[in-house]
Amino acid sequence: MDPTSAKLTLIAPEMVLCFGAVVVAVLGLMHNASLRRSVPMVAALFLALSVAACAWSYSTPAAEASGLLLPYLGSFAKPLIASIGILLVMLGGTAVDRRLEAAFESGRVPFQAVRVLRGEFHAFLLLSVAGTMLLASATDLIWLFLALELSSLPSYVMVAIGRHARKAQEAGVKYFFLGAMSSAIFLYGFALLYGATGSLQCTEIAHTLTTQSATNGVSTLAIVGAVMAILGISFKLAAVPMHFYAPDVYEGAAGPVTAFLGFMPKAAGILALFTVLSMLGWSGHAAVLGGQEVELHGLPAPIAAMLWMMSVLTMTLGNIGALLQRNIKRMLGYSSIAHSGYLLMGLLAGPEAGLNAVLFYLVGYGVMNTVVLAALSALERNGEEVETLEDIAGLRSRQPILAWMLAIAAGSLIGLPPMIGFFGKIYLFTAVLEQGQTALVLIAAVNSAVSVFYYMQLVVLPMLAQPNPRSETVTAIASPWPKIASVVGGVSIIVLAFFAQPLLEAASSAFGAPTVSAASTASPTSVQQSEPSA
């Protein structure tokens, strides 16, 4: 199979989603109300079809012929992204235009296609999911940039239109302008990488940087380019120093959109960092230089030190910020920052153990975070979203299922056994500890202990606290789908824990350590690059 055909085969799932985006956008404009109501179901159907397309595309020889640095990354990442996407559609499928559709149905307002947003919302959702999946198949820096933008731009609009409130518009504007700044930063970093290597192709950049590391060391221009690229991409993760937007945007966005932001940009950032760091050389990767195979021992020292500091600051500031919150979505925004710190920690461990643990952790976090926000989205207070911790006090007496889902998800986020969050932290911390990063693991363990104080509020308040005047006015919304999404996710938190080892092995198969060939007269037996001292 030639490389062009191989690449087209690998992006078959994304083609399905792009076609689906067109279909749901058209359905959302139909005069027939039943067709408009079918939009979430159609969006979920196309996401399911994309999972099937993933299974087909990676059953062919396309991955081996594609020339990707990480050819099998998409075999795990793409089905994961699409599956979480289905859960997100279940969570917020009927929330958009709920009041407007009720007005159309009652006859109080005549149908106007220009006012309906459900079709556009789900089209943007599918496009963002497609952009995130495309990152797993990026072959060059232009592809990487366009995929990141396709993943990000629809989410800016989703924040603004997902909720008819001034907060949502403010959050959308803030998210857009800060996102544009981050795009400029990582695009400039890509330009510097091109200047340092003379190529846009990821494999050729990896070849050039391997040659440099074997002779005089990676050039300063390449290091600066990589630093700027990582900084720009860290915006997607809400990692320090690009984290400051997360609490405001999480609070202003609608609950289903907040759930989307909690997973999809984070997955996009991790996949982009996999590619960028693979170009720099992971610990344990082989390289062929001057006809002799050598081994690369770690990322360049400045990059490793940068990731180490970003990880520590991100998890620490995130957990401290979450401790101070009474607004649930702001608390989840800060906790999302903290979890990005844990994910960055896994990147330092490299492909032998760390990267599969990062993917496994991403599975667990995606489900756990979505369950919390699905449970909150299933509730309302005087027609508005529940926002404060006081709103969920004594929830068990009125909505016991939702109270249990909150408790299960919060317990898993803490890392209590026997839930998937426990195994996620065990695998991640063990992988980092095996690389000698003892201090980093100790810092992460202390941060995990700190998170107990605010996550336990999502257990104690709904299950044990007495109702108060605010919480007594909280009721379930008319649509059952957010509640169904929370139950499906809550059950998954328990069930997936029983398949933790097979999931980890599946994640490991996504990282065949590539052999990087490069023309060089040097013939060392080892390329030693320092890592930050614990």
Residue 32: Cβ-neighbour burial (10 angstroms; 0-12, 13-18, 19+)? exposed
CA 162 to chain centre: 19
pTM for the whole structure:
0.92
As a whole-number percent, the residues of the chain with pLDDT over 90 amount to 63
Between 61 and 47, the higher pLDDT residue: 47
pLDDT, tens digit (0-9, with 9 covering 90-100), for 144-183: 999 999 999 999 999 988 777 788 888 888 899 999 999 9
Whether the per-residue pLDDT at 244 is higher than 90: the answer is no
Both tokens assigned to 479 = 């649509």
Q: How far apart are CA 388 and CA 381, in angstroms?
A: 11
Q: Provide the pLDDT for residue 17.
A: 97
Q: How far apart are CA 115 and CA 362, in angstroms?
A: 36
pLDDT, tens digit (0-9, with 9 covering 90-100), for 8-30: 999 999 999 999 999 999 998 88
What is the span of the domain harbouring residue 401? 3-528
Between 522 and 339, the higher pLDDT residue: 339
pLDDT, tens digit (0-9, with 9 covering 90-100), for 438-447: 999 999 999 9
pLDDT, tens digit (0-9, with 9 covering 90-100), for 295-334: 555 688 899 999 999 999 999 999 999 999 999 999 999 9
Confidence of residue 291 (pLDDT cuts 50, 70, 90): low
Q: Provide the pLDDT for residue 402.
A: 95
As a whole-number percent, the residues of the chain with pLDDT over 70 amount to 92
Q: How far apart are CA 169 and CA 413, in angstroms?
A: 30
Total structural domains within the chain = 1
Q: How far apart are CA 256 and CA 262, in angstroms?
A: 10
pLDDT, tens digit (0-9, with 9 covering 90-100), for 345-378: 999 887 777 889 999 999 999 999 999 999 999 9
Residue 260 lies in a domain: yes
Residue 533 lies in a domain: no
Kindly state the average pLDDT of the residues 228-254.
92
Residue 534 lies in a domain: no
pLDDT, tens digit (0-9, with 9 covering 90-100), for 199-216: 999 989 988 888 887 777
Both tokens assigned to 334 = 């800060």
Per-chain mean pLDDT for the chain: 88
